[in-house]
Every structure is written in structure tokens, then in C-alpha cells.
Copies of this chain bind each other. A is one copy, B any other.
Amino acid sequence: MANIRDVASLSNVSPITVSRVLNNPERVSPATRARVEAAIEELGYIPNQIARSLRSSRTNTLALVLTDITNPFWTSVARSVEDAASAQGFNVILCNTDEDEKKQAEYLSVLLRRRVDGFLLVPARSEASAVESILRQKVPVVVLDRRVPGADVDVVRSDSEAGAYALTRHLIEQGHRQIAMLSGPLGVSTAQERVDGYRRALTEAGIPVDEHWIREGEYTVESGYAVASELLAETVLPSALLGANNFIALGAMRAIREAGLAVPENISVTCIDDIPAWLVGEPFLTVAAQSPYDLGGRATGLLLRQIREPGVHPAQEIVLPTELIVRRSTAAVNGNHTE
């Protein structure tokens, strides 16, 4: 593969002149420039970004480390991050951790060696240790979706507590009292906050919180299915089910269907996170919708700013609202609306 010296000798100039043609064409006489450009063309020369990065210590690369691209929520985030990044000349390396701290650590280590210019990280657990390795190297990071208490970093997330609160309240208004909370892993801040919102709504309504109805699981369809199946095998059934995310609710719906029950006739189901309307034809689930595209865009914006103006901006937290969307998966207890 031709290099800058090949181009230089073919066009009878020094390598630095070729470099200038590439980076500051206006500082080279038109005649020389034309000669160099002809040589570039002839040799099919393609500048080596690796060498450039070595000199400049900039890779124009962002790392997007998330839990699972397969969840449409993260798919949208990934799309918006890539859009925002490529508009500014950055490429994106995608990594799926599956909420596994070991995988996450391994990825972060590889990415630090690669000298990515910045990280967009969805930490597998909400602990400062998740971002420590990055901060120690003074590489810009923005944490997505989750808090990391004790770490001085930018965070862009949704208001999980309010989302869960709104959903729980909605269920209560429909007459539900036996509301099961299918939580995510409690080591993750969003799971914690969603349980908090659930508790607050119950307490405010004067309904005692029954710990029996709070079940911890993973943010996956399989886990939602498993936990809901357990619940449905018991003698007293809940009249409503709050999934901590879309996947949990989808798994739960499957369990309910397989148990021969109907949504919402027998059990109402709702969750945080929407499923894109264009994916499902007629959306069915009542949800507290986040704005994944926004989330990714805002986070990328913050990250690029950090990269461009290092050390200027103090860490900040952006909290986006969720939107309650009432659809057909929730109904009044026994099918009678109480309003």
C-alpha cells in the first residue's frame, strides 16, 4: 500500500508537501498541488489514519458500551450516537456487555489500549468503580441511563423514579391494589429508582407496600418470563404487573398467556420503556416512555464537547422526562373502569 513517501517521490516533492496538500491545500502552490494530486490518484494512495493518530493522539473514535443492542431502546440510542458522532467526523465502536461486569472490564481495557477519544458507557452496575479505570486515564466519559454515585462524571438519564411512579399511580387509579413489581437487578440505579417510584405511589395512596410483590430479576425477556411464571404459580395472583423495562414486560406477557390468562382482562401489564410504534403495528402496552434517541444525542453532544474542550466543563447530569402513554394493556380491576 502506497505511503506518503511514494507519493512524494512520484511528484518530485518532499513528504511534507504531500501532507500539506492533504491537510492545508491552500498553503501549496496550485501547480505543485496538481502534481501531487495526480500522483495520489495514480498510486491510489490512502492516508494512514493510524500513523496520523499516533502523532496527534486523536483517534476520532468513540466507544459505545451498552448492555445489549438487541433491545430496541439501545438500538435507538446506538443509532442516535452514530448519527451525532459521524456528523462530527467520529466513528463508533459498539460493545455489548450483557450487564456482565467481567465483559465490561475487558471491553474498557481493550478500548483504553485503543485510545478511543471518549466513552459512552452504560455501566453494568451503578458503582463508581465502573468508570474508575477511564477517569484514571483522564479520558472523557459520559454515563448513559444510570447513575454512578460517587463518581464525578457527566450523566444523561431518564427520570426512572417518576416514570415508575406515574405507572403505579395509573394502576392505582384503575382500582388495582395487588400490584407486582418485576424489578431489574437492584445493583443498577434505574432498577432501584423504579422500585422507589413504585413504593412512593403506593405509600401516597395509603396502600401498604407488600415486599412479597417486589421481585428482583434481570432486564431480559427470559427473566421477565421466569419471574412472572413464579408469581403466577402462587395462590394469590396480582391484578397488575409493573415491569421495570420493556423486555421484562414482554416476558411476563408470555408467561401470562401461557398460564391461560388474558391481558388486561385478568392482569394489567405496564412497564418503563416503549417499543417503537412502527415495530408493532398497533401498540398495546401502557408504558412510561423514555426518549432513547434524545438520550443518545444529548450524551454524544456532551462527550464531544468534553473532547474538544477538555477540563472546561464541570460534570453535569441531564435528566430527561418520561411520558406516560396509556394503551390497552391496562384496565380497571375486573374490567370495570373506576372512573
Query: Which residues of A are at the interface with B, using a C-beta cutoff of 8 A?
Result: 1, 44, 46-51, 53-54, 59, 61, 68-70, 72, 75-76, 78-79, 82-83, 86, 91-96, 107, 109-115, 136-137, 221, 247, 250-251, 253-254, 257, 275-276, 278-282, 284
Contacts and interface: CB of A to CB of B under 8 A. Distances in A.
B50 A250 contact: no
Contact of A92 (B1, B72, B94, B250): B94
A58 to B, nearest CB: 10
A109 B310 CA distance: 29
Nearest to A112: B46
Contacts of A82: 69, 94-96
24 contacts: A44-B136, A46-B113, A47-B113, A48-B115, A49-B115, A50-B53, A50-B114, A50-B115, A69-B82, A70-B76, A75-B75, A79-B96, A82-B95, A86-B107, A91-B111, A91-B114, A93-B93, A94-B94, A221-B278, A247-B278, A250-B278, A250-B281, A279-B279, A280-B280
A226 to B, nearest CB: 13
B92 A93 contact: yes
A115 B52 CA distance: 12
A54 B50 CA distance: 6
Contacts of A51: 54
Nearest to A278: B221
Report the 5 A-B pairs with minimum CB-CB distance, sorted nearest first. Answer: A49-B113, A221-B278, A49-B114, A94-B94, A91-B93
Nearest to A61: B93
A284 B283 CA distance: 13
Given A95-B91, A137-B46, A278-B221, A79 B86 contact: no
Contacts of A112: 46
A51 B278 CA distance: 45
Contacts of A275: 279
Nearest to A44: B136
Nearest to A75: B75
A93 B275 CA distance: 26
Nearest to A111: B91
Nearest to A225: B278
A87 to B, nearest CB: 11
Contacts of A69: 69, 75, 78-79, 82
Contacts of A113: 46-49
Contacts of A94: 78, 82, 92-94
A136 B53 CA distance: 24
Nearest to A52: B113
Nearest to A285: B281
